[in-house]
Amino acid sequence: MLRTIIVDDEPNARQVIRNILELYCNQVEIVGEAANVKQGLALIKDQKPDLVLLDIRMPDGTGFDLLNKARGLNFRFIIITAFEQFAIQAIKRSALDYIMKPINANELIEAIEKAVITEYRPESESVKLDNYFYNLQREAHEHRIVLNTLNSIYAVKIKDIIRCMADKNYTDVFLLNGKYLTLSKTLKEFEEILTEHGFFRTHQSHLINIRFIESYEKGLGGTVVMSDGSKVPVSSRRKELFIKLMQKL
């Protein structure tokens, strides 16, 4: 049973969340609600919940302000937000759990089920939050992404990723230091995060950092030679877009 707190400045939103949890999530016990950062922090200190469902925008600050002030108080959290796309990207880069407003019952139930079955690791949550605040203070070219493998969690500079390669529902991420990490995320998820950082999907199974392109070998689709010596195929349907990209470099 997850002892749960809802922190949101909108009474209607809190009621919607409560209704969904009470109807469909018998793994959850709601132990309190708060309407702002100050109330939320006091409630967390008093109730010591297992899970906090947390809005971002509130009258006296943000959900991240609350999380920063609550360092050392170990609890899972799921961000609930109506933020714009750029803010969602920041959340994704740090591998933070979130759902969007207006709240979809199935998405909330799925997020709760994930929280129930996933082992809670305070050090992992700390890495994710540290990464979020790190990125806030730096230009985009210095941003890092959190990579969560089966055994470890890493905060890696995006500019140090050479390429990503799909393996069914897993993705291998190849780094500048010669190492690679295997993650249980699809290549599409990485594409959504990394495209704005100079990555290009050359093929159904390949996403490359254009900074590390050494040469292009022509063919039906062709092959890209990367700085680590790897050869990455270009699909015939992506060839035209890729050549246009190369002409701009």
pLDDT in tens, 5-24: 999 999 999 999 999 999 99
Amino acid at the residue 137: Q
Question: 151-248 has which fold?
Answer: OB fold (Dihydrolipoamide Acetyltransferase, E2P) (2.40.50)
pLDDT tens digits, one per residue of 152-194: 999 999 999 999 999 988 999 999 999 999 999 999 999 999 9
Determine the Cα–Cα distance for residues 14 and 2; give it in Å rounded to an integer. 17
**CA 160 centroid distance within chain:** 18
Q: Give the pLDDT of residue 86.
A: 67
In the chain, where the domains are located: 2-132, 151-248
Q: Which amino acid is at 174?
A: F
Smallest Cα–Cα separation from 164: which of 204, 208, 202, 194? 208
What's the rounded Cα separation, in Å, for the pair 182 and 171? Answer: 6
Predicted model pTM: 0.91
In the CATH scheme, what architecture does the domain 2-132 have?
3-Layer(aba) Sandwich (3.40)
Q: Distance of alpha carbon 104 from its chain centroid, rounded?
A: 19
Please state, rounded to an integer, the average pLDDT across all residues of the chain: 95
